[in-house]
Structure 1
Amino acid sequence: MNQPTGPASPHLQRRLGVADAVLIGLGSMIGAGIFAALAPAARAAGSGLLVALAVAAAVAYCNATSSARLAARYPASGGTYVYGRERLGDFWGYLAGWAFVIGKTASCAAMALTVGSYVWPEHAHAVAAASVVALTAVNYAGIQKSAWLTRAVVAVVLTVLAAVVVACLTSSAANAGRLDVDADATLTGVLQAAGLLFFAFAGYARIATLGEEVRDPARTIPRAVPLALGITLVVYAAVAVAVLTVLGPRGLGEATAPLSDAVRAAGADRLAPVVRGGAAVAALGSLLALILGVSRTTLAMARDRHLPHVLAAVHPRFQVPHRAELLVGAVVVVLAATTDVRGAIGFSSFGVLVYYAVANASAWTLTADENRPARIVPAAGLAGCLLLAFTLPAASIAWGSTVIAAGIAAYGTRRAITARRAS
C-alpha cells in the first residue's frame, strides 16, 4: 500500500501492545452492550434475547476475523476505509469510511447521553456534552494516556458486572424458567435485536483503526481482536442470563436502567448506586475509545482528501491527529446536546453494519498467501451484516440510508469536479 509521506502527513508512533489493544477493544464494547443496547434488544426479541445475542456474536466473529486478517495486511489508521480502498477500489473504501464516521459519531452521542442519564438525569445533555469535552482532551494528550485510562475503566466495569451477576444468580428471586424461549420470540424480532446488539460488539473495530499505532501489527492485531471479542461475549452472556432470571424478558425490555432494576429485584438495593456508577464509568470508557477510532478514520480519509486535508495533521508533541479529534469532539458535543439515545443506537448500528459489509467483501479478495480466512467466514459475515442492517427499526433504516446516500452523492460530486478540472 502506498503510504503518504512528507511533513504534511507524518505517521503515528507504534506504542500499543496486545494487552493495550485488547483493553481498548473491551472499553469500546462492554459499556455499550450492557448499559445501552440490552433493554431495547429485549423489547424486540422478547424471550429470544439470548438467541439474538448468539446471532450477533456469530456475525461479529466473522467480521472480527475478516478485520483482523486485513488489519495485519494493512496496518495503517483507517480500518475498513483502507481495506476497501486497497482491495475493492476507491469508492468502496470511501463508503466504508463514511459509514464508520457517521455510525460511530452517533455511537459517541449515545454513550455520552448514557453517562448523563446515570450521573445526573435532570441535566443529562449538559453532562453528556461535558463528558465529550473531557475525553477529547484526554485523547488529545496522547494514545498511551488513553490506554491507561481505558485499563482502569475496564477493571471497574468488570468488577461491577461480576457483582451484578452474583447478586442476581444467588437471589431467591432468580428463576431459570425465565430463560425459556416462548412463542413471543419471532424471527423478525430476534434479527432486529441482533442488529441492535451488534452495536455493542462493534468495539473491536477500534483495534483495527489503531493499526498504525500498535507494535508488530501482523502479530498483535490478529491476537487482540478475537481475545477482546471472546471476553466480551462471555461477559454479555453472563449478565444477560443473570438479569433475565430476575426480571424476565418483559421486565428487562421495559426497564430504563435494567441492571439497577435487576439488583433491586434481587433484594440487593445497596448495590444499585454502585451499578449506576459502573454504568457511567462503562459509558465513559466506550466514549473514550469511540472518539479515538472515529478520529483515526477521519485522519485516513483526510490524507486521501475525501475529507478536508487540514484534518490530516498530526500533533508534533503528542503524536495524535489533533485537528481530527477536535472536530469529532465538537460534532459529538452538538449531537449529545440535541439528540435522543435510543434513536442513536439504531442509526449507529446501520452505519456500522454497512462498514463491516465492506470489510467482509474486502477479506473475500485476500489470497492464500495473504493469510485469508476460510471463504465461509467473509461470505457469512457479508450476508449477516446486510440481513441485520435491513431488519433494524424502519426509522433507523430510513435515516441511515439517507445519510449514506448523501455521502455517495458527495463522493460523486467531488469526482465529477476533479475530472472537469483535469480536462
Structure 2
Amino acid sequence: MSGRGLAKHLGVLDIFCIAVGAMVSSGIFVLPGIAHAMAGPAVLLSYFLAGCLMASAALSTIELVTAMPKAGGDYFFIARAMGPAVGTVLGLLSWFALTLKSAFALVGIWAFAHKLLPFDARPVVVGLGVFFTALNLLGTKGSSRFQTIFVVLLLSLMGLYVIVGFPRVQVSYFVPFAPHGWNSVLATAAFVFVSYGGLLKISALAEEVKNPSRTIPLGLLLALLSTVVVYCLVVFVTSGVLGSESLDHSLTPISDAAALVMGKTGEIALTIAAMTAFLTTANAGILSASRYLLSLSRDELLPTFFGRVHPGTQTPVPAVLTTGAFLIGLFFVPLESLVKMASMVILLTQALTNACVIILRESRIHNYRPTFRAPWYPWLQITSLAGILFLLAEIGLQTFLIGLIFVGAGLVFFWFYGRLKQEREYALLHILERMSARKVVRNALESELKEIIRQRDEMCLDRFDRIIEASHVVDLGRIHGVEELLRELNPALLERGLDRPLGVEDLEGEEPRVKFVEIFEGIGVAEAAASRPDVFDVVLVRSRAGISFPGAAAPLHALFFFLVGSDEKDFQLKAVAALAQVLQDPKFDSRWRRARNAQALKDLIVLADRRRVCSLEPRPWEPQALPDESS
C-alpha cells in the first residue's frame, strides 16, 4: 500500500444516492410518532422547517467543498479555517459520530428484523457489518453501486406508500393543526433536525468525486430537496391515516400506517423499506467516516498508518478496517445517550461550517476560490448559525456534558500528539495579521489552496505558467511617471537578458525600441528584444495608483513586459494568446489591484481558466515516473 490519491469514481447519481441513504433512516421510520406527540399534525411543518435550516447549512458546505474538494470534508476546511486544534477535535468527533450513527442503523435493522425473522437476528446484523466493511475495501465504485440500488428500492417503496395511502387520509385528523402551540412546532423542528444530519457528511468523499465543481452542488441539493419532499409527504400520509391516538409515541409509525392502508403485505413492504434505509445509512457511514481518519493521517494528526491507500482499489484500507471494526463493536454497547451526543457533534460541525465561510471570506485569501458561492452572505450564515445554536441549547445538559468530555479528550490528544507533529497555517491567522498589522503568516495556506485548485480543475503547468511562476514582479505603491518606472524596471530586465538599460526615448518615436499595446483600459503589454535568441521572459508590473505610459489612453494598473529573443517569436504569439484569455475575466482588473503580494499576482494568472496544451505537460497532483537507473 502507498500514499497515492483516491480514485475519482463518484458522479451526480452516486452523490445523490449516498446523501439520501445517509439521511433517510430512523428520522422518518422511528421519529414521526414521537414528534407528532410533541407538535400534533403540525409536525409536517417541523420537518419542513428543519429541512430549510439544513439547506442554509448545505449552501455554506457546498461553497467550502467546491473550494477544497478533499477527503475529510468538514474536518479539512475547518482545520484550514480555524487551525489544527479545532480540526483535530472535530475530525475525531465526526468520525466517532458517523460510526456511532452507523452502529445505531445496525441496531435499527435488528429491531425491525423481529417483524420478519423468527430468530434473534444479531448474527445476521454482525454479518452485515462485516459485509459493508468488505464492500468499502473493494472501492467506492462498488459501494456506490450498492447504495444506488438500495436507495432506488427505498424511494420506490416509500413512493408506493404515499400513492396508496393518500386517498385514505382523513382531514379531520389535522384539526386542531397545532394543539400544543407554535412554540412546540419550533421545538419539534429542533428534535427532527437530526433526520437530515447525514447530508453534510458526504463532503468527506469530495476527493473521490468527478468534476466536483458541478457534481457536489447538484448532487447534494437534489438529495436534500428530494428528502424534504419525501419526508413531508410520508409524514402527511401517516398523520392523516393513523391520527393522534394511534400515532403518538409509536416507534414504528410508518409500518403501522402501511398495515392499515395496505394490509400485512404493506406492513412487510415498509418494514423492508425501513431495513433498507438502515442498510444505506450504515454503508454511507463507513464510506464517509473512514475518510476522516485518512485526512487526519495525511495532516500528521494521526499515525501515517491510517493514510495508506491500496494501489489497486485506491481505498484507504486501514481507515476502512478500523471504522468497520469499531462499528461492529459499538453494536453491542448501549447507545442511547451516545447517539444524542452524535447529534450534538453534527450540529456543532454545521455551526462551525457557517463560521468557516465567514472566516475564509474575511481573511481575503486570494486562492480561496469556490466555484459555488453561498448567497445572501453573511446573513445566511449568521441566521443559520443562530438557528443551530438554538438547537444545541435544546440538546440537554447530560448530552452537553458527555460532548464536553469528548471535546476535552480530543484536545488532550492534539496537545500530546498532533501539536508535536505540525504547525499548520490557517485562515484565522490571516485575519489576525490584518488586524494587528504584524507578519504572522508565511503564505503556506495560499500554496496549499493553489495545488487544490489545480487538482480540482485538472490544470497542467504549461510553459507560459512556468514562466509566470519564475517572473519578477515590480509592485509600485504610488503614482509613477515613466522615468521612475524605468528605474524600478531596468534592473530586472537587465538580469533577464536586456542588453542595455531602457530610457524614455526608447518608448517614443516612429520605431521605438519598446513596442507597446494597450489591451484594455489600464492594462498594457510591452515588448523589447532580448540580447540572446533563446530568451523568453516576462516582468509583471502592478501599480494601484496608475502609471502614465506613452501610448496609453489611461493610467496603467497592469503592465506585462516581455523580453523576446529572435528564436522565440512563435512562442511569443502563444504567450500573448494565453494572456489574452486571462485578461478576458471581467474581474481581473479589480483582483489585480487587490492582490496582497507578488505571489498573489502570479497566482491570478497561473490559476486562470484558459486553454492549456496538457498532453506533454506534467500535472502536479499526479506521481511522476522515476528515471530508469539502468540507463
Give the TM-score of the pair, scaled to structure 1: 0.89
Indicate conservation of the 8 Å contact 2:36/2:247, yes or no. Answer: yes
Distance 1:245 1:291, change over 3 A: same
Indicate conservation of the 8 Å contact 2:6/2:207, yes or no. Answer: yes
1:280 positional shift: 0.8
Which of 150, 162, 166 is equivalent to 1:153? 150
For 1:149 and 1:179, the matched residues in 2 are separated by 42
Distance 1:9 1:30, change over 3 A: same
Q: Tell me the residue number matched to 1:38.
A: 32
Distance 1:131 1:37, change over 3 A: farther
> Does 2:185 correspond to 1:184?
no
Distance 1:220 1:416, change over 3 A: closer
For 1:257 and 1:381, the matched residues in 2 are separated by 31
1:167 positional shift: 2.9
1:39 positional shift: 3.4
Q: Which of the two has greater helix per residue?
A: 1
Q: Which of the two has greater strand per residue?
A: 2
1:191 positional shift: 4.5
1:282 positional shift: 1.3
Distance 1:42 1:10, change over 3 A: farther
Deviates more, 1:58-67 or 1:387-396: 387-396
Deviates more, 1:218-227 or 1:359-368: 359-368
Deviates more, 1:114-123 or 1:226-235: 114-123
Indicate conservation of the 8 Å contact 1:246/1:262, yes or no. Answer: yes
Indicate conservation of the 8 Å contact 2:108/2:278, yes or no. Answer: yes
1:186 positional shift: 6.0
Q: Tell me the residue number matched to 2:275.
A: 280
Indicate conservation of the 8 Å contact 2:110/2:121, yes or no. Answer: yes
For 1:181 and 1:409, the matched residues in 2 are separated by 49
> Does 2:103 correspond to 1:113?
no
Distance 1:321 1:242, change over 3 A: same
1:418 positional shift: 6.0
Query: Relative CO higher for 1 or 2, CA cutoff 8 Å, sep ≥ 6?
Result: 1
Length, aligned pairs only: 410
The equivalences for 1:23-62 within 5 A come to: 23-62=17-56
> Does 2:300 correspond to 1:297?
no
CA deviation digits over 1:175-223, x for unaligned, max 9?
3542643332463x54553334222212222431111100111121122
Which of 221, 224, 228 is equivalent to 1:229? 224
Q: Tell me the residue number matched to 1:309.
A: 304
Q: Tell me the residue number matched to 1:239.
A: 234
Q: Secondary structure at the match of 1:355?
A: helix
Indicate conservation of the 8 Å contact 1:31/1:279, yes or no. Answer: yes
For 2:114 and 2:81, the matched residues in 1 are separated by 47
Q: Tell me the residue number matched to 2:171.
A: 175
Instruction: Give the letter for the 2:207 counterpart.
Output: E
Indicate conservation of the 8 Å contact 1:314/1:322, yes or no. Answer: yes
The equivalences for 1:282-361 within 5 A come to: 282-340=277-335, 342-361=336-355
Identity %: 26
Structure having the higher Rg: 2
Instruction: Give the letter for the 2:163 counterpart.
Output: V
Q: Tell me the residue number matched to 2:120.
A: 123
1:233 positional shift: 0.6
Instruction: Give the letter for the 1:312 counterpart.
Output: G
Distance 1:317 1:301, change over 3 A: same
List alignment gaps of at least 5 residues for structure 1: 1-6
Q: Tell me the residue number matched to 2:4.
A: 10
1:42 positional shift: 3.2
Q: Tell me the residue number matched to 2:428.
A: none
1:403 positional shift: 1.8
Indicate conservation of the 8 Å contact 1:175/1:246, yes or no. Answer: no
Q: Tell me the residue number matched to 1:66.
A: 60
Instruction: Give the letter for the 1:239 counterpart.
Output: V
Q: Tell me the residue number matched to 1:259.
A: 254
Q: Secondary structure at the match of 1:268?
A: helix
Q: Tell me the residue number matched to 1:194.
A: 189
Which of 80, 92, 105 is equivalent to 2:74? 80
Q: Tell me the residue number matched to 2:534.
A: none
1:416 positional shift: 6.3
CA deviation digits over 1:73-127, x for unaligned, max 9?
0010011101111122222322331331122122111111111111236635444
Distance 1:46 1:124, change over 3 A: farther
Deviates more, 1:366-375 or 1:12-21: 366-375
For 2:237 and 2:17, the matched residues in 1 are separated by 24
For 1:408 and 1:192, the matched residues in 2 are separated by 32
Distance 1:295 1:168, change over 3 A: same
Q: Tell me the residue number matched to 2:135.
A: 138
Distance 1:303 1:152, change over 3 A: same
Deviates more, 1:296-305 or 1:392-401: 392-401
Give the TM-score of the pair, scaled to structure 2: 0.61
For 1:321 and 1:39, the matched residues in 2 are separated by 40
Which of 157, 161, 164 is equivalent to 1:164? 161
Instruction: Give the letter for the 2:170 counterpart.
Output: A
Q: Tell me the residue number matched to 1:389.
A: 392
CA deviation digits over 1:340-363, x for unaligned, max 9?
4x5454222111111111111111
Distance 1:179 1:328, change over 3 A: farther
For 1:105 and 1:337, the matched residues in 2 are separated by 13
Instruction: Give the letter for the 2:315 counterpart.
Output: V
Which of 398, 401, 410 is equivalent to 1:398? 401
Q: Secondary structure at the match of 1:181?
A: coil
Q: Tell me the residue number matched to 1:214.
A: 209
> Does 2:101 correspond to 1:93?
no
Q: Tell me the residue number matched to 1:4.
A: none
Q: Secondary structure at the match of 2:197?
A: helix
For 1:131 and 1:59, the matched residues in 2 are separated by 33
For 2:35 and 2:209, the matched residues in 1 are separated by 34
> Does 2:264 correspond to 1:269?
yes
1:267 positional shift: 5.7
For 2:96 and 2:49, the matched residues in 1 are separated by 24
1:47 positional shift: 4.1
Indicate conservation of the 8 Å contact 1:40/1:196, yes or no. Answer: no
Indicate conservation of the 8 Å contact 1:32/1:199, yes or no. Answer: no
For 1:214 and 1:123, the matched residues in 2 are separated by 39
1:249 positional shift: 4.4
For 1:344 and 1:415, the matched residues in 2 are separated by 25
Which of 409, 413, 421 is equivalent to 1:410? 413
Indicate conservation of the 8 Å contact 1:196/1:345, yes or no. Answer: no
Indicate conservation of the 8 Å contact 2:300/2:418, yes or no. Answer: no
Indicate conservation of the 8 Å contact 1:77/1:212, yes or no. Answer: yes
Alpha-carbon RMSD across the aligned residues, in angstroms, is 2.4
